[in-house]
Chains A and B, each alone.
Chain A
Amino acid sequence: MQSAMALSFSQTSFTRPNHVLGSSGSVFSTPRSLRFCGLRREAFGFSTSNQLATRSNRIQFLSRKSFQVSASASSNGNGAPPKSFDYDLIIIGAGVGGHGAALHAVEKGLKTAIIEGDVVGGTCVNRGCVPSKALLAVSGRMRELQNEHHMKSFGLQVSAAGYDRQGVADHANNLATKIRNNLTNSMKAIGVDILTGFGSVLGPQKVKYGKDNIITAKDIIIATGSVPFVPKGIEVDGKTVITSDHALKLESVPEWIAIVGSGYIGLEFSDVYTALGSEVTFIEALDQLMPGFDPEISKLAQRVLINPRKIDYHTGVFASKITPARDGKPVLIELIDAKTKEPKDTLEVDAALIATGRAPFTNGLGLENVNVVTQRGFIPVDERMRVIDGKGTLVPNLYCIGDANGKLMLAHAASAQGISVVEQVSGRDHVLNHLSIPAACFTHPEISMVGLTEPQAKEKGEKEGFKVSVVKTSFKANTKALAENEGEGIAKMIYRPDNGEILGVHIFGLHAADLIHEASNAIALGTRIQDIKLAVHAHPTLSEVLDELFKAAKVESHATTRTVSEKVVV
């Protein structure tokens, strides 16, 4: 291992001139030694040569510029191959995370390849966020059209709403295809090499894909994502016992479907199925539905998304055994108490959707070749997504982003992590603040959140000795929401009254998923409430819900921004 480290570093230093060539000018302004800070002492031995290299880069910089110009003329923006490697960066897995990393890598001038063993787009585009949004778009409209009271309150009259299952399924499928093509084209257009085949790590900086194609790269990103997690005892047949992969194809709309797991996947599907006429039974292992959401939000969400709909639920139980429908019998679900493990009940339903979360897809990745031991399948990484081996040391030049590392299993988190890694390998230290990554659940109405929940914030406040305050506002107080007859919903902000730091924002209401970004951007940029409350929101818009929160917050310190007039250049 020691020798491998040394080797890798010597290579790094030798190839650096090449590598830096592809980087933008900003690289020079950042302290070069930063990248080595966290590594072994030997690394510092190269600092002198590194500086030399930097100096030489500066001389070569101009010529590089001209090369780039000609390159873009030939519509190939991908970086030049490094001398001793096939690529600067190889990404294993062309999901949203890999895609985001690849695009950013090319922008940074790295010669990049992406390996995909299945279809470009990964889970999100093909079996996750994207097709589910298509189904939810349908369910939202169905819900609205079926809600006579709602329509009448607008003065609208609609005759009975109906749907064509195949038409709905086609919409989801077409959307996935379209987005997949967009993704593929966006990478092709800038010259990312898309290599088809199953990728695995052969050794440091060496990757195998397909049958026996071996390529090398200075840095490797693992972005292999995840697959639906199916607890043992559950037999998935793809027809009556299904995962989200199957459900998104909408091959049938069962009269009664049990959804195992009431997280956001389960919730979104309950929204789809009930809008299409199914009855739903939730099975949740924890004591309450919608764990993971802010308790107040989940309480209200339950009141709006569960109680008035054709949904019932069993909490505090595991589905210990699920047998698909066959031999004239319905789907059988055996429930056991989550704590005592005693049998509790048996359900007979038409279908069961397993939405118990997702398991990392890391088998067969050749991780043993770099001495990495997965934890429950997840690849251990540090806060810079650098892979940690079995001994707890960092594996040089190997990164893991997205669901495979399990830090935050969201498509946009993977993408953000990928961009963070590219920033690092192109010489700029970067640590992603995961607390600034928003999450959304696209039910009707939507749920969104960023940062800490109220209990988390209070716990942190107690530990670190700061006060935590909460402000709330109702969508009922928002003109636009009322115009849409969608006054149902709340937004709450958790913050520090002493310095105005936003700790978390949770929204449940119309377009919550779009509204959260003002808060997540504020958290990411460190904007304080006393500053953002002076910003102006168009009236009447839903964004005023957040404006209301900012203005209602009681912060002890004063605004730090200069007055707007100073900033405006007229």
Chain B
Amino acid sequence: MAVSSSSFLSTTSLTNSKSNISFASSVSPSLRSVVFRSTIPATSHRRSMTVRSKIREIFMPALSSTMTEGKIVSWIKTEGEKLAKGESVVVVESDKADMDVETFYDGYLAAIVVGEGETAPVGAAIGLLAETEAEIEEAKTKAASKSSSSVVEAVVPSPPPVTSSPAPAIAQPAPVTAVADGPRKTVATPYAKKLAKQHKVDIGSVAGTGPFGRITASDVETAAGIAPSKSSVAPPPPPPTPVAAKAATTTTNLPPLLPDSSIVPFTAMQSAVSKNMIESLSVPTFRVGYPVNTDALDALYEKVKPKGVTMTALLAKAAGMALAQHPVVNASCKDGKSFSYNANINIAVAVAINGGLITPVLQDADKLDLYLLSQKWKELVGKARSKQLQPHEYNSGTFTLSNLGMFGVDRFDAILPPGQGAIMAVGASKPTVVADKDGFFSVKNTMLVNVTADHRIVYGADLAAFLQTFAKIIENPDSLTL
């Protein structure tokens, strides 16, 4: 079992995120590794933090030289639990063995970003460690935004609309045997407690229907809005309710599987996508389309292609320059009460990699020149393929670009990733017959772009103006090469 472990560790606080110190620490004979990093990567110190807090990222350690990703076997600690220096926090399965990851810091496990059974690439954040109890909440919101921006979905059709509230709880009267003498204490079975923890159900609020009024696993499942995995011994048949009426967002009473169909559990990436997609439903979005003439762009592309410039870089650069003039489209609204103008324009670009989807981020797309952007992009795609993207390389986007033009798709509509203001869906550029204002017909290469935006902060006119600017840049692309 030759497992070498290297661990990185930085003691940077959020307020001082520039000075990332990292060092390899030699590890005890039992090969436990500790990995921490401050939450905000050095490149994205755009938002000033008012709270001087230390929230550390726990990231997937490299437990062997061949390890590219690791599976979380189990979290030894649960969210909110206090950690003492040297305690094991999480168990990670590498290609070779299971290993405990222990903490070098006292603090609280504030948030679990990658759940049990899920896989994360080496270096990806798997959890957050807060120094004080007060910072747990803050870290949690951080975790939510972190996981939401890590993977972005662009081409999935919108899920079926939510028709009604969750299924009514099928509560049963407690059995007669419940002996009430004095104040009743909560009695819950071991599995019920486990499920409550898992589904974040407050066990105190669950009504127990088991023997002696105790809370059973199915009580917790009912409270969590999940169809009980096993029907209890003899439940009185509930009044028939139409199945469709109970379709909740996360919990649907699925019809039985058709014969010969197989169930495939989500990969870590699929789960992340799924989670983000569900989250995206809480954001009111709208879409605006715009035809863009690409004759000039195509000509430019032919010219710069030999120099290694890609269409993606051209589009990202154009979007970045347009965003610089319309900062509201580059803004993000996270809490629904306020929004923030992002200091950097980081263009996330959706990439399909063997069945998965990831959004490497071209940082400062408006500032970097075309050649640097192209170079950067190649590097990112290579890293994405080998699953070696660092978290800040895929979760720091402020605007997303999704291009399906190469597949001949002429137009489509993307889902807005949570935490961003807008996403642009780019279709194929096709020769199209157009009539100019003088009534002359001509054939021009035209590309349809469609932007989905968060209507809480971006309004129709904003988007229209942004698209106009974008179209102008594409149609007069000389500025791109400046």
Contacts and interface: CB of A to CB of B under 8 A. Distances in A.
B353 interface: no
A474 B96 contact: yes
B194 A472 contact: no
B246 interface: no
A280 B190 contact: yes
Contacts of B73: 303
Nearest to A328: B177
Nearest to B91: A303
A303 B74 contact: yes
A346 B189 CA distance: 13
Contacts of A251: none
B220 to A, nearest CB: 12
A467 interface: no
Interface stretch (A176-184, A307-315, A355-363): A307-315
Contacts of B179: 328-329
B29 A470 contact: yes
B193 interface: yes
Interface in A325-364: 328-330, 346-348, 350
B91 A473 contact: no
Contacts of B191: 279, 310
Nearest to B210: A255
B98 A474 contact: yes
Contacts of B100: 299
A293 interface: no
Given A255-B211, A328-B179, A477 B190 contact: no
Interface string A248-290: 0000000110000000000000000000000111000000000
B1 A348 contact: no
A129 interface: no
Given A303-B73, A329-B179, A476-B96, A311 B214 contact: no
Nearest to A552: B1
A346 B182 CA distance: 14
A295 to B, nearest CB: 10
A476 B99 CA distance: 13
Contacts of B30: 296
Contacts of A255: 189, 210-211
Contacts of A347: 187
Nearest to A310: B191
Contacts of A477: 1, 96-97
Interface in A217-269: 255-256
B212 interface: yes
Contacts of A348: 187, 212, 214
A330 B190 contact: no
Interface in B442-473: none
B190 A312 contact: yes
Interface string B178-190: 0100000101011
A4 B74 CA distance: 66
21 contacts: A279-B190, A279-B191, A296-B30, A300-B98, A303-B76, A303-B91, A308-B74, A310-B189, A312-B190, A312-B193, A329-B212, A330-B212, A348-B187, A348-B212, A470-B29, A474-B1, A474-B96, A476-B96, A477-B1, A477-B96, A490-B97
The winner among B74, B96, B189, B210 for most chain A CB atoms within 10 A is B189
Interface in A490-513: 490
B276 to A, nearest CB: 25
When A and B form their complex, which 10 residue pairs have the shortest distance between CB atoms, in order from nearest? A312-B190, A310-B191, A474-B97, A279-B190, A279-B189, A330-B212, A279-B191, A348-B187, A256-B189, A473-B1
A308 B72 CA distance: 13
B194 A346 contact: no
A307 B1 contact: no
Interface string B37-66: 000000000000000000000000000000
Contacts of B212: 329-330, 348
Nearest to B233: A255
B365 to A, nearest CB: 43
Contacts of A328: 177, 179
Interface in A348-400: 348, 350
B144 to A, nearest CB: 26
B211 A310 contact: no
A479 to B, nearest CB: 14
A328 B194 CA distance: 27
A269 B232 CA distance: 24
A161 to B, nearest CB: 13
Given A256-B189, A474-B98, A552-B1, 20 more contacts: A255-B189, A256-B190, A256-B214, A280-B190, A281-B190, A303-B74, A303-B76, A303-B91, A307-B74, A310-B194, A310-B217, A328-B179, A330-B211, A347-B187, A348-B187, A348-B212, A350-B211, A470-B29, A477-B1, A477-B97
